[in-house]
Amino acid sequence: MQKALNKLKNCLEGELYDSPLYQSMYATDASIYRSLPMAVAYPKSTKDLQQLIHFAQQEKTSLIPRSGGTSLAGQCVGEGIVVDVSKHLNQILSFSAEKKQITVQPGIIRDQLNNFLKPYGLFFGPNTSTSNRCTIGGMFGNNSSGTTSIKYGVTRDHVVSCKLLTYSGKEVYIKPLSKNEFEEAIKKPTPLGKVLQDLHKFLHNERLQHLVDNHFPSPNIHRRNTGYALDELLNSEIYKSNSNLPFNLCKLLAGSEGTLGLVTEITLQLQALPPQKNILLACHFDSIKASLEAVNIAMKHSLFTCELMDKAILDCTKNQLKYKDYRFFIQGDPEAILMLELRSDEDEDLNQQTSALIQHLKNETKVYAISKLIDEQISMAMELRSAGLGLLGNMNGDEKPVACIEDTAVALEDLPNYIEEFSELMNKHQQKTVYYAHAGAGELHLRPILNLKTEVGKKQLKAISKEVAFLVKKYKGSLSGEHGDGRVRASYLPLMLGEELYSQLKQLKLIFDPHQIFNPHKIIDALPIDEDLRFLENTPQSSSVMQFQKEGGLYQATEKCNGSGECRQVFTGNETMCPSYHVTKNEVDSTRARANALREFLNSKENERGLEINDLEETFDLCVSCKACKRECPSSVDVSAFKAEYLQQKMDKNGISLSDWVFGHIHLVNALGTKISSLYNFSVQNNYLSKITKSLIGVHHQRSLPKLPAKSLLQQVKAFQLKFNQLENPIKEVYFFIDEFTNYFDSAIGKECFDLLYQLNYKVNFVTHEISGRALISKGFLRKAKTIANKNIAIFSSLISDEKPLIGLEPSAILSFRDEYIGLSENIQQAEEVSTNVFLIEEFLLKEAKRGAIDFSKFKATKKQIKIHVHCHQKAMGTAKTTFDLLNYIPAWQVTLIPTACCGMAGSFGYEKKHYEVSQAMANQSLIPSIKKANQNVIIVANGTSCRHQIKDASNKVALHPVQLLYQAL
């Protein structure tokens, strides 16, 4: 097989990988399953897809189609070759604004498509919670719908035509056919003619029509993905005399999960953009039952969205770094919130609709509070709703909400009774359940909380799934409303449809896929529901320097990644995660891939093909440890911590390189350099000498090296302390943390900061302390960093308080107290207590400004235009708005935040020759273009030392620290 794979690699225009790393990355999707694939292919053309089909035929293996990899039912997991179309096959092929039609390749992301269409006043309606990373191919395969299905229907409603590669490798163009066109096409000796001939023999069967009418979900349920959509074909004019619907095979292929062939192109019918004015009502209820009883009332109004969030999801947001700020609209402690959206082009009409709906709800439901949201508030609330799946992954411990029965759909009028019976069933199993999502469409995402690492949990999985299938059948519902049967529900199709009809589905599969090469064991011939689970009965006991106490250990921390793929979202500039993926668009550079790979490595003893520590190099190499994943990933997957642990283990095995030692111990290098600063500064500025230095430590020749002062900031502290001691009635006392970057690279900024605080009447105290250890952590010297962290915690625990906080200038250094120090501490409680009184300088000044302690009349009211870029660690552990709000206290200043991700410098990352190009690409995504577009008089502010260095090198503009700007204004 290896020879055959090597030959296939040479035949493809795209790429094929069969290393343990890529197998591990693609062993899971967003479902509960894990299966190591043979290889991963990134096809570049239809020819590549045909080569893969021929290979699968010859080698008797299978192809598993994949794009965003956000499947919840296990559609993207299998032992064959994973075919990832998201990398290359993601283009718009043709567009007609007049016809309102667009033809795309399957790998294009839904939100990217709509971004293209927006200027034309058009969009593609189905809107999944994963719309910023899921692809049209995946939506077609799953027949996706999402939050707007009550208004815009499901994907198959909008598919005009497509091109399909059959098992022979021939490409077939599929479009709607009238009766006459069908009769003509079936006679032709073409690939399409052959498909239609076989299909017509199969469908032209009264018994089949009878079975479908009696056993398929009720036609009143629009969201249904049970088996193959035979009813869609049988309802055409070919098979029903009273029908005028054309025969469109696309209706069958939509929702077939890639089991009938590979789709290369999809043509979509578009809609006019919805009315631009909207209001969202967040309706609070004391029980799930009360919220569901309100759905039928709400749906009598012209809603665009009717979504439910329950207490389990809402509670997951309380301590999540990003989403805790999105809870602003929640009143009290509701068991459920219904989110109801109204839209109109006219304010008066929208207000009338809103008043009527509110009055109706107050009169006829048990709603106890209604929050009325507008503008940005709506975006925040809906983002909270969209993050539901990821937020559930943020639950610590081995018990997790499991996607197995989460996709059932019933008629809207049956929903309250169905849920009541469902709740009784869950009570019987002593189960807590999560309820959320599409209440207005009769489909709630219901998740039992199970521990699938135990035999008890596995038995509950099987028992609950089977009993719920019986319950859904009772209501003539659909076991899957939008997520598909995949693996998790496929084994219950015989129960739902009956053995006779199920056998007909198997026959249909054989018509399209006689050799079983297309995504086997999905929908048809399912494997047992509890086979190939991603959860291990015996959790590996992994050693780590950091404690990962809340998660239960390093391995459990990697398990928090549930594969939902937020790290692959469309780049907008407003989110940072994941900067390396945004540059390369390679799965290997995503947060998800890194978590998957580390989990597989830690499980290497159980792993069939075992990952070695050096196998992880490719996936962790471009991680800049920005911490965006810790904040922006709903599951708070902390890859910066994973990378540090990986680097420590790699160092333990392979030793330490000169470059890593130098950058990790930059404080020692700078201490020596400061003693001979004149010679040092000459050498880094002299072309010949700097070239030698850069070559020795692996720095790119175009990267400038920073100069050092004649005296470090610490060497000048005594004079400042004497000055501060002269203050008679200071407003407040603070301790100042002189980190290793401010001490050497930014000593001038440090002095200006001291002068600023002095003139504002704040007394600064200095105490001998350790360096922050930031560079040591970033380079994997965790054991050294652990010693430093514990010393600093011990020093400041008895000194600082709410009245005497600790403040610092460099975000990456001072914010270590809030993050890594807690994981490295031998006394976590003490570390957490210390962290509550540690602030970035802007945080401290803003806090003081809010309580009226700072006299801003001292500052010159000179007009300035200011653009701000803040450090990634501030965004992750605080908020960018802090710096923005502080500078806005001076009315004459016009301040804007640049919508940027990571600057790409990331400490030593941007210096290194092997990373320089990626570093520049990160900077040029939004930061540098924004700076270059700015007027010459615009002042650029950046509070990170690395950020300022990157801006200077990439744009030739000098960025100021916020305290410099404030100091200059005094």
List the CATH number of the domain containing 739.
1.20.1050
Same domain for 734 and 843 = yes
Say if residue 325's pLDDT is above 90.
Answer: no
CB 887 within 8 A of CB 918: no
Which of 386, 85, 110 lies closest to 270, judged by CA? 110
CB 101 within 8 A of CB 122: no
Same domain for 681 and 635 = no
**Per-residue pLDDT tens digits for 747-793:** 999 999 999 999 999 999 999 999 999 999 999 999 999 999 999 99
Question: Confidence class of residue 259 from pLDDT cuts 50, 70 and 90?
Answer: very high
Query: Final residue of a domain: which of 806, 826, 854?
Result: 854
Same domain for 807 and 721 = yes
CB 478 within 8 A of CB 221: yes
- Domain range for 296 is 275-396
Interval 303-325 mean pLDDT: 88
Give the per-residue pLDDT at 958.
96
The residues, ordered by sequence, that sit 6+ positions from 491 with a Cβ below 8 Å of its Cβ are 526, 527, 528, 529
**Per-residue pLDDT tens digits for 725-757:** 999 999 999 999 999 999 999 999 999 999 999
Is residue 510 situated within a structural domain? no
Is residue 717 situated within a structural domain? yes
Interval 396-404 mean pLDDT: 89
Is residue 745 situated within a structural domain? yes
Give the per-residue pLDDT at 608.
52
Amino acid at the residue 457: G
Q: E strands, 468-534, where? A: none
Interval 873-882 mean pLDDT: 94
Residues above pLDDT 90, as percent of the chain: 88
Question: Confidence class of residue 393 from pLDDT cuts 50, 70 and 90?
Answer: low
Give the per-residue pLDDT at 57.
96
Interval 174-183 mean pLDDT: 95
By CB atoms closer than 10 A (0-12, 13-18, 19+), residue 6 is exposed
Same domain for 843 and 884 = no
Question: Confidence class of residue 313 from pLDDT cuts 50, 70 and 90?
Answer: confident
Interval 477-482 mean pLDDT: 93
Is residue 939 situated within a structural domain? yes
Distances (CA, A) of 319 to 55, 296, 554, 629: 49, 33, 20, 15
Same domain for 806 and 682 = no
**Per-residue pLDDT tens digits for 326-343:** 999 999 999 999 999 999
Interval 108-127 mean pLDDT: 97
Same domain for 841 and 935 = no
Query: Final residue of a domain: which of 608, 639, 655?
Result: 655
Question: Confidence class of residue 232 from pLDDT cuts 50, 70 and 90?
Answer: very high
Give the per-residue pLDDT at 324.
85
Q: Which two tokens stand for residue 198?
A: 């076989």
Interval 382-405 mean pLDDT: 82
Interval 368-392 mean pLDDT: 87
Question: Confidence class of residue 105 from pLDDT cuts 50, 70 and 90?
Answer: very high
The residues, ordered by sequence, that sit 6+ positions from 159 with a Cβ below 8 Å of its Cβ are 140, 248, 250, 251, 254, 266, 267, 268, 269
- Cα dihedral angle (128, 134, 137, 140), rounded to 10 degrees? -10
Same domain for 287 and 375 = yes
Is residue 928 situated within a structural domain? yes
Same domain for 686 and 638 = no
- Written in H, E and C, the secondary structure of 569-580 is CCCCCCCCCCHH
Q: Which two tokens stand for residue 282?
A: 């967040």
Which CATH number characterizes residue 360's domain? 3.30.70.2190
Distances (CA, A) of 241 to 179, 234, 387, 495: 11, 11, 46, 31
Give the per-residue pLDDT at 441.
87
| H/E segment holding residue 948 | helix 945-955
Give the per-residue pLDDT at 224.
86
Same domain for 837 and 761 = yes
Distances (CA, A) of 965 to 869, 886, 922: 14, 11, 26
Question: Confidence class of residue 389 from pLDDT cuts 50, 70 and 90?
Answer: low
Q: Which of 443-452, 491-500, 648-657 has the lowest mean pLDDT?
A: 443-452
| Total number of domains constituting the chain | 5
Residue appearing with tokens 């653009």: 867
Question: DSSP letter at 132?
Answer: T
The arrangement of strands across the sheet holding 762-765 comes to 762-765, 732-737, 806-808, 838-840
Query: Final residue of a domain: which of 655, 681, 702?
Result: 655
Same domain for 703 and 627 = no
Is residue 873 situated within a structural domain? yes
CB 591 within 8 A of CB 560: no
Interval 214-232 mean pLDDT: 92
Is residue 528 situated within a structural domain? no
Same domain for 846 and 725 = yes
Residue appearing with tokens 């189905």: 126
Query: Mean pLDDT across the chain, nearest whole number?
Result: 94
Say if residue 609's pLDDT is above 70.
Answer: no
Same domain for 861 and 933 = yes
Chain-centroid distance of CA 316 in Å reads 16
- DSSP assignment of 891-911: TTEEEEE------S-TTTTTT
Distances (CA, A) of 488 to 77, 404, 530: 11, 6, 8
Give the per-residue pLDDT at 320.
81
Residue appearing with tokens 């540090």: 644
Say if residue 689's pLDDT is above 80.
Answer: yes
Is residue 84 situated within a structural domain? no
**Per-residue pLDDT tens digits for 615-631:** 999 999 999 999 999 99
Distances (CA, A) of 507 to 115, 484, 491, 576: 41, 19, 16, 48
pTM (2 d.p.): 0.93
Which of 615, 619, 699, 617 lies closest to 659, judged by CA? 699
**Per-residue pLDDT tens digits for 125-170:** 999 989 999 999 999 999 999 888 889 999 999 999 999 999 999 9
